[in-house]
Structure 1
Amino acid sequence: MIHIGLTGWGDHPDVYQSSSNTKEKLKDYSSHFPIVELDASFYAIQPERNIRKWINETPTAFQFVVKAYQGMTGHLRGKSHYASAEEMFEQFKLSIDPLLEAGKLAMILMQFPPWFDCTKENVDELRFIRRQLEGYDVAIEFRHQSWYKEDIREKTLAFLSGNNFIHAVADEPQDGEGSVPLVAISTTKDKAFLRLHGRNVNGWRNRTGDNEAWRKVRYLYNYSDEELQEIKSAITQLHSTTEQVYVIFNNNSGGHAAENAKRLQKMMGIDFVALAPKQLDIFEEE
Structure 2
Amino acid sequence: MSIKIGTASWTDTTLIQCGRFYPAGCSTSEDRLRFYASQFPLVEVDSSYYAIPSAPTAALWNTRTPPDFTFDIKAFRLFTGHQTEPKCLPKDLQTELPKTDAKYLYYRDVPAAVVDELWRRFFEVIEPLHAAGKLGAVLFQFAPWITSAPRERAHLEDCADHMRLYPTAFEFRNRSWLDEAHWEATLAFERAHGLVHVVMDAPNGVRTRASTVWETTSPDLAIVRLHGRNAETWAGSASAAERFNYDYSETELTEVATPIRALAQRAAQVHVIFNNCYEDLAQRNAAALSRMLSD
- Superposed pair shares fold, TM > 0.5: yes
Distance (Å, rounded) in 2 between the aligned partners of 1:175 and 1:214 = 21
Identity %: 35
1:58 aligns with 2:59: no
Residue aligned with 1:93, SS: helix
Name the aligned partner's letter for residue 49 of structure 1. P
Correspondence for 2:166 among 130, 136, 141: 136
Name the Cα RMSD after superposition. 1.5
- The answer on whether the counterparts of 1:130 and 1:163 sit within 8 Å (CA) in structure 2 is yes
Shift in Å, 1:44: 1.2
- The answer on whether the counterparts of 1:14 and 1:258 sit within 8 Å (CA) in structure 2 is no
Distance (Å, rounded) in 1 between the aligned partners of 2:289 and 2:117 = 41
Cα shift readout 1:196-223 (whole Å, capped 9, x = no counterpart): 0000000013x15xxxx23222100000
Shift in Å, 1:101: 1.1
Deviating more after overlay: 139-148 vs 251-260: 251-260
Deviating more after overlay: 70-79 vs 183-192: 70-79
Cα shift readout 1:134-165 (whole Å, capped 9, x = no counterpart): 11100000011111121111000110011100
Match of 2:74 in 1: 67
Alignment of 1:139-178 (within 5 A): 139-178=169-208
Distance (Å, rounded) in 2 between the aligned partners of 1:245 and 1:14 = 27
Distance (Å, rounded) in 1 between the aligned partners of 2:111 and 2:210 = 34
Cα shift readout 1:227-246 (whole Å, capped 9, x = no counterpart): 00111012112112111000
- The answer on whether the counterparts of 1:203 and 1:214 sit within 8 Å (CA) in structure 2 is no
Residue aligned with 1:31, SS: helix
Question: Any runs of at least 4 consecutive aligned residues in structure 1 with deviations exceeding 4 A, and if so which?
Answer: none
1:240 aligns with 2:265: yes
| Corresponding residue pairs, total | 265
Correspondence for 1:37 among 44, 65, 74: 44
Distance (Å, rounded) in 1 between the aligned partners of 2:45 and 2:223 = 15
Alignment of 1:266-277 (within 5 A): 266-269=291-294
Residue aligned with 1:181, SS: coil
Shift in Å, 1:176: 4.0
Shift in Å, 1:166: 0.3
Match of 1:216 in 2: 241
Gaps of 5+ in 1: 271-286
Residue aligned with 2:234, SS: helix
- The answer on whether the counterparts of 2:225 and 2:272 sit within 8 Å (CA) in structure 1 is yes
Correspondence for 1:87 among 94, 111, 117: 117
Shift in Å, 1:73: 0.8
Length-normalised TM-score, structure 2 = 0.86
Match of 2:107 in 1: none
Gaps of 5+ in 2: 94-109
